[in-house]
Amino acid sequence: MGRIPESAKQVFKGKIFDVWQWEQTMFDGTTATFEMLRRPNTATVIPVVDDKILVTVERQPNHTQASTTIPGGRCEPNEDSRVAAERELLEETGYTADDWHLLLATQPVSKIDWTVYVYVARNCRKLQEPHLDNGEEITSKLVTFDEFLMLADDPTFWEQHLVPLMLRARLNPVYREELHVKIFGV
């Protein structure tokens, strides 16, 4: 993955996206203006409740269709991704947990400096009702591990960066077992 170099200058600051440009030396020694974006990192969580996974069904104001997804949202500036994941889990589902593990950290788009963190939160328990903001319509439901893996075939499933991992688990029993241990601890 290319990353934004130290020499880059910020040329635009938006609501979500910042734009950075720099002079890049090409293979023939000439230079060209290169451009990349930065956006707040995303923290998501696979919440484990007993032997099930708590998934969410979300609708957004500019989308007509509801999406199946997992709890998560933007990290605040300088906020630890784990803290953001805990906050989003509590706000969107009312659940909390003490047993956290980082499953995956991925950069989904080559020209965007943007990391998506996927945590596992084991032994989740309901603490309160969800606190949704005015851009969220979210409900949650419990699914089995197998039902979760089948969500890779749901065209509305939001977490496309998890799809390869879910398909690999269905393809390879050893990998399925490893993923089960990573999520459930057993």
Show the site string, 110-129: x = touches a copy of itself by CB under 8 A, - = not: xxx-----------------
Would you say 74 and 40 are in contact if contact means Cβ atoms under 8 Å apart? yes
Residue 137 binds a copy of itself (CB under 8 A): yes
Coil/strand/helix, residue 146: helix
Q: Max alpha carbon distance in the chain (Å)?
A: 61
> Which residue in the set 98, 108, 123, 125 belongs to the binding site for a copy of itself (CB under 8 A)?
108
Residue 186 binds a copy of itself (CB under 8 A): no
DSSP at 151: G
Query: Minimum CB separation from a copy of itself for residue 21, in Å?
Result: 7
> Which residue in the set 11, 83, 105, 181 belongs to the binding site for a copy of itself (CB under 8 A)?
11
**CA proximity to 85, closest of 69, 62, 67, 102:** 102
Residue 9 binds a copy of itself (CB under 8 A): no
Q: Give alpha helix (H) positions in the chain.
A: 81-93, 145-150, 163-171, 173-184
> Which residue in the set 6, 9, 15, 174 belongs to the binding site for a copy of itself (CB under 8 A)?
15
Partner residues linked to 139 by β-bridges: 57
Tokens of 115: 């990391």
> Which residues are near a copy of itself by CB under 8 A?
1-2, 5, 11-12, 14-17, 19, 21, 24-28, 30, 32-35, 37, 60-63, 108-112, 134-137, 152, 158, 160, 163-164, 167-168, 170-171
